[in-house]
Structure formats: C-alpha cells, structure tokens
Structure 1
Amino acid sequence: MDGLQRELEESNFVSRGAAWTQLSGGRTNKAWRVDTADTSLVCKLFTSTKTNPLYPNFAVDEYNSQVALSGAGIAPDPIAFVQCEAGDVVLYQHLEGETWKSNTASVGGLLSKVHDQTPYEGLRFLPSGSNALIDQIKGILAECTQLDWTPVIKDPKIGPTKHAVLIHTDIVANNIVVTQQGLRLIDWQCPALGDATEDLASFLSPAMQYLYGAGPLNGGDVSLFLAAYPDKDVVIRYRMLAPLYHLRIAAYCQWKLERGDPDYAQALQLELSAINQAE
C-alpha cells in the first residue's frame, strides 16, 4: 500500500498526510478509505485480472459507470481512474452510511431506478433468455471436474429480452449502501446491457446472500422485493427463468469451490435447494 499511496500523492490525486484505512467486504479487489482535511474518498485497487465466467473485473468499467450515473442518486460520485504500478485504481467519493441489512422493498425500488437509466456507450452486451443461460451453465460446468451432484437443465423456452437495460449484475448486500439520501450501489466493475431479470436473480440468490449478506432471504422478504419492483412483466419473466438462474449460480459455486474457495461449498447447497423451490 505504501507504494500506491506514494504514487497517488506524487500525482496529486491524494493529498499528503491523509489517513488511509483498509475497508473490508470485497473478495477480489482491495479498497481503502482515505480521509483528508476536507473530504473522504475511496481508493479501490484492482488486483485481479483472472478470467471469471460471471463477473468481469475492470476498473475502467466501474469508473465509466460512475461517470454516467453521476447525479442520478445511484452510484458514488467519481473522482478519477488512474493506472498505477500496483494496478488500475478508481478513486471516488466515500458514501457515508451502512451496508444494507433489511427492507427488501427498498432494493426493488433501487433496481427499478437503475434499469430506468439511459445505457451509456461501451457497455458489454449480455445475451439473455433461456438458451443464453443454458449456454452459460454448460460453459461453466465444462470447466469443472469434481461434481458430486447432477445438473438437471430444463428449458422454459424463454426468448431474449426485447428491452435491454443497464444492469449492475452483482447486486449483493455488501454492494448496497444505506445513506441518508437513500440506497446507493457500489462495485460497478461488471455492468452490462442486458436483461433486467439478471439483477433480480443476483439479489435473490441464496448463495450470494449467504456469502455477502446475513444469509438467504425468507419467503416474505422475497415477496416484498418482487412486489416493490414496478415492472410486473420483468417479475413474471424472472419467475420463469429462476430455476436456470439458480442453476447458473450453483455451477459458479462449483467453479469457485474447485479453485480453492471453501466458502462456496455451503453456498452451492443453498443454491441447489433453491432450484427445487423455484420449479
């Protein structure tokens, strides 16, 4: 961290004498809160360039998202994208608040606000519909060699979305900040132009709630969340695709487990149970 701090100070992105405090919560990148005499910012260092089948990790995408959403009351205010010796860095204004823990209806409203934004140029396009999900599932499982469960793929014959929108793709509790001005989303390193149901599926994944939140949501919280999302056609579409979304996350958990992350063992079991409940 000393080299990164020195480099940012010498480039005048951070003032000398600022207080650096490492932040917890992320599993991929490193982040620090940097307090100066007149402001607080976040320095996020992108440390991983490994290929991930679901969650790309690019600093420039996070910065571009923050710029595009500036003033919309959705994301942190951007400061700079900096290419440093230690890796790519995004600097942004620190959000005063707490990590989201309750009130799923408020998250439904937040996602509706995200999906109403005008998509900006340069977003990756994420294929949608049941065929695309099945292709993703098969692609992830093809990289796994230690399965002790049998994937059962059922195709609901749902076509691609006719209304691609800006999506975050990583809607987990740790990425939602409760501020005095309302909910805000951080960690925009894997945005896309795609199906709104992707974000609903991300938030409702029991594996992701287990790994990044207080545990899987109960049925009442799920119902409140879906009731608060105003586009009922999207909700209906999500319900039809839910078994495939759960299977895709299960495949991802298997992929992570085989790459040395034991936390995903319990997450896998939770997601496999959710498949049966969604059918």
Structure 2
Amino acid sequence: MTAPMLLAGGYRNEVWKVRAGQRWVVEKRYAEDPGDPNPMYPNLPDSEAAVLVHLASTGSAPQFVSYTPPGAGHGAQLVYEYVPGTMWRRGVADVARVLHEVHHGPTPQGVRTLHGCAAEARRHGDEMVAGVPASVAVPLVAVRPVAASEQPPRRRSLVHTDCGPGNLLRSRHGLVLIDWQCPGVGDATEDVTCFLSPAMMILYGRPPHTRDATDAFLQAYASRAIVARYLRDGACWHYRIAAYCLWRAHRLAESQPTLAALYHRALAAEIQLLSKWGRR
C-alpha cells in the first residue's frame, strides 16, 4: 500500500497525494479562516468544488472527483485527479491563452461576485491601506492612482483571482490552473493584473516579468477589449495588490518576520511599477 504524500505549496490548507485504485488523486483538506479573514484570498471550499465541476470538460482545471462540505468536527474536503506536471516557469503566451479560455467561457453558479471596475478595485485597496498605520502607508499612498474608471466590463467572467506561477501547472496536455479556492465572477482584468504583477511573482519565488514578457502576454491574450481595460485600469488593480502586500506585511511583522519581509519586497516591486505606470 502506498502511503499518502503531503504536497508542498499550500499556504493554509493541507494537500495530499493519495492512491485511489489505479490512479492518484489529490485530497485537499481545508483549514478554517482565522478570526481576521483574508480580504483578498478567502478560503471558499464550496466555490472551488463548484468551479471544478463547471470546468470539468475544458482541461483548464483538475478533474473533480468528490466533495465533502464542512461538518461537525471536520473541515471541508475536496478530491480531484492528480495532475502530473511542473510549476510554470516560462511561456507567457500559454498563460494568456488558458486565461482567455477561462474568461470567455460560461460563468458558474454559486460563486461570489467580485469587484467589477477599476474604481471598486481602488476602493478595496483604500480599505486595506486604512487597516495599517498611516506612517507605513506613505510610499504606497504617494503612487495611488488618481483616475479610476467606473465602467464595468462588457461581460463578466469567471476569475481565478490567484493565478500566479505556483497555481499554474504545465502538464503533458498543456497548462492547468489549480487552487481555485477563492474564485468569483467579475472583471477579467483582475486575473491579467495578478499574472503580470511583480509582487505576485516575488511571492511565488520568481523574478518579475520583463517588459518584453509583459508585452508578449498582452499580445497573446486574444481579447483586445480586456487588454485595453488593463492598459487603462491596471494601475488601480496593481494598487490593490500593493495594498494587500502592505496589509499582510503589517500583520505578519511580529509572528512571521521572514514572511513579512517577503511581502515588503513584493510591495516595493509593486510600488515601483505604479510609479512608472504613466510612462508606459
């Protein structure tokens, strides 16, 4: 009998590789959110299960096997087929294609509604900035975007929200998006920003994208309307990511100083991007 293997990568939940008959599956055992819930990346097991069922025939997510909702004395557990592969490291055009497929397919039922425009993203960033001492927020406030469009997208999309390199697996069949624990229906610009964010790359242990890589991604993303939204509104979405890094760094400063320092590095990279945004 093959013993279950604990997989690396989960920030909050335990993820196990388990033998089930002739195949390997993943058992994801969810932890409950603490009393101070995450303002950007909540733990939503019901939503992850719903999205895996919704995407079952697309190849862009792991194949759903079963789901047990949380109950008395136990947390939620999701089982899906194990996808052999490696974490994404290169090929931004491939990421653009899989995100475009997800964004322009049908939207699922039973998931949350996300922020739908740049102004809402900036307001959310402001809320996170308000949760830290004003003295530590000065560098970010200095690059806060002035303009923020209220225009919603032409169509709302299924949005992963955390599509950094650690949640992109390159399998023999192509790229697969994993860890759908905080999805929603909203503006596809959120995912475009997440993937292009220097902060998110740093948090996943990768160097920020070069200008050439960013341009190649935007060229490969097939919706010119979403690319135009990113070029117009991206500063507000990047500001929101920077605000989250600031919020996390402040809360981790005493309990996990090494991780807090990583969030400070990510914040600095996002601020640098914002400081140059108008000169793109």
The TM-score, its normalising length taken from structure 1, stands at 0.90
1:72 equivalent to 2:58? Answer: yes
Residue number in structure 2 paired with 1:29 = 13
**Aligned counterparts of 1:150 and 1:114: Cα–Cα separation in 2:** 32
Which of 195, 200, 224 is the matching residue for 2:187?
195
Moved over 6 A (4+): none
**Aligned counterparts of 1:121 and 1:193: Cα–Cα separation in 2:** 9
Residue number in structure 1 paired with 2:99 = 111
**Aligned counterparts of 2:122 and 2:234: Cα–Cα separation in 1:** 12
SS of residue paired to 1:73: coil
Q: Write out aligned runs for 1:130-145 (5 A).
A: 130-145=118-133
Q: Aligned letter for 2:44?
A: F
Unmatched 5+ stretches in structure 2: 253-258
Residue number in structure 2 paired with 1:269 = 268
1:256 equivalent to 2:256? Answer: no
Report the CA distance between 1:162 and its aligned residue: 2.6
Report the CA distance between 1:104 and its aligned residue: 0.3
SS of residue paired to 1:87: coil
1:149 equivalent to 2:139? Answer: yes
Contact (CA 8 Å) 2:87, 2:167: kept in 1 or not?
Answer: yes
Contact (CA 8 Å) 2:122, 2:148: kept in 1 or not?
Answer: no
SS of residue paired to 1:47: coil
Residue number in structure 2 paired with 1:90 = 78
Report the CA distance between 1:115 and its aligned residue: 1.0
Aligned length: 263
CA-based RMSD: 1.5
1:222 equivalent to 2:214? Answer: yes
SS of residue paired to 1:19: coil
The TM-score, its normalising length taken from structure 2, stands at 0.89
Unmatched 5+ stretches in structure 1: 1-16
Contact (CA 8 Å) 2:145, 2:236: kept in 1 or not?
Answer: yes
1:63 equivalent to 2:52? Answer: no
Report the CA distance between 1:233 and its aligned residue: 1.2
- Identity, % of aligned positions: 32
Residue number in structure 2 paired with 1:8 = none
Q: Aligned letter for 1:132?
A: E
CA gap 1:148/1:127 in 2 versus in 1, 3 angstroms:
closer
SS of residue paired to 1:259: helix
Q: Aligned letter for 2:88?
A: W
SS of residue paired to 2:4: strand
Q: Aligned letter for 2:193?
A: A
